[in-house]
Amino acid sequence: MLSTLNRILYPLVLKAMFLLDPERIHAITAQVIRRCGYAPGVRSLMAKLFATDDPILRNEVFGVSFPAPIGLAAGFDKNASSVNAWGQMGFGFAEIGTITGQAQPGNPAPRLFRLPADRALINRMGFNNPGADAAARSLAQPRPGPVRVPIGANIGKTKVVPVEDAVDDYRHSARTLGPLADFVVVNVSSPNTPGLRDLQAVDSLRPILATVLDVVDKPVLVKIAPDLSDEDVDAVADLAVELGVAGIVATNTTIRRDSLVTPRAEVEACGAGGLSGPPVADRSLEVLRRLYRRVGGRVALVSVGGIETVDQAWERICAGADLLQMYTGFIYGGPVRLRELHEGIAARLRAGGYSSIREAVGSAAQ
């Protein structure tokens, strides 16, 4: 019944939302979600409608218990203001941020664009956020409600901080947010901060990861770009094993623009930025498979990029993903779709004779 209503009504809701500027409707939606997360009656109703409580979906990854495998990717809750809502909306976990050491406004608007024909987004937000100290105050707030899920802190470099001082900038964010989060994700892969992706080079990445690992006692992950060469993917994977990094988030948005349905002129009018959604799905899956062959079982893998269907989610799990993330698919599909995905994964597990999701991870590669 709920799925049928969603198929009928959500396209109308989406059409109405798309009448407004992308960043404005994002701000409005984020405010509504935040308020719902702290309204007792509303959050209980949300949990009843959207959350999936199925033991077969529960998994322990890098020592953290996840009630369901699909989490909210970084980029939506940049201010850590809605952490109490994401579990009630059906997510098994959420990443806040990206948070930088210092508060910053991000890039000039317009900086967020829709490609409806591709069910995709282009953004060049530039890590607009209130800074680590303000985000820490938000993370420290109580989280009442029927569903409590792990929260990861995604940290990046402040734009005005020189690359040579990046280690100190990451250190401050990690030390400030680490004690309040369930895990920390080091983001060196956004295309919207000048010089940031250069930090994915092993020689630059090593001191950043080593420093973050040194100042927090929570699991540390690193988020990589889909635009890395296969050799660089291997190098980051090997470094993760060497340093004892808990996991790799693969992948961020892409700077590529090939294979789009949207007319070229319309895409070019959007300008620079990271492309997310279905256009990045194939490369995200390729990177996941490569990582699993290289470090599967030794480093947890979180797959993100273009996941919209049960088939895609199941394929990622069987290819080696311990956890999954959504952002663009959540925008285009809505929270009911998230519940459908979780229920679909549970059905696939039972049909395959698995007693838990852990047994299915990497099954296609074994």
Domains of the chain and any CATH numbers: 1-360 (3.20.20.70)
Q: What pLDDT tens digit does each residue of the chain (366 aa) get? A: 789 988 999 999 999 999 999 999 999 999 999 999 999 999 999 999 999 999 999 999 999 999 999 999 999 999 999 999 999 999 999 999 999 999 999 999 999 999 999 999 999 999 999 999 999 999 999 999 899 999 999 999 999 999 999 999 999 999 999 999 999 999 999 998 989 898 999 999 999 999 999 999 999 999 999 999 999 999 999 999 999 999 999 999 999 999 899 999 999 999 999 999 999 999 999 999 999 999 999 999 999 999 999 999 999 999 999 999 999 999 999 999 999 999 999 999 999 999 999 999 999 987
Q: What is the pLDDT of residue 2?
A: 87
Q: What is the pLDDT of residue 5?
A: 86
Q: What is the pLDDT of residue 11?
A: 94
Which residues make up each annotated binding site? Answer: 74-78, 98, 123-127, 154, 187, 192, 223, 251-253, 277, 306, 327-328
Phi-psi region of 52 (alpha: psi -120 to 50; beta: other; left: phi over 0): beta
Q: What is the pLDDT of residue 47?
A: 96
- Compute φ and ψ for 116, nearest 5 degrees: -60, -35
Instruction: Give the tokens for residue 314.
Output: 């199941």
Find all residues with CB under 8 Å of 88, minimum gap 6, and list them. 36, 37, 43, 44, 46, 47, 50, 51, 145, 146, 147
Which residues make up each annotated binding site for FMN? Answer: 74-78, 98, 154, 187, 223, 251, 277, 306, 327-328
Q: Which residues are annotated as catalytic?
A: 190
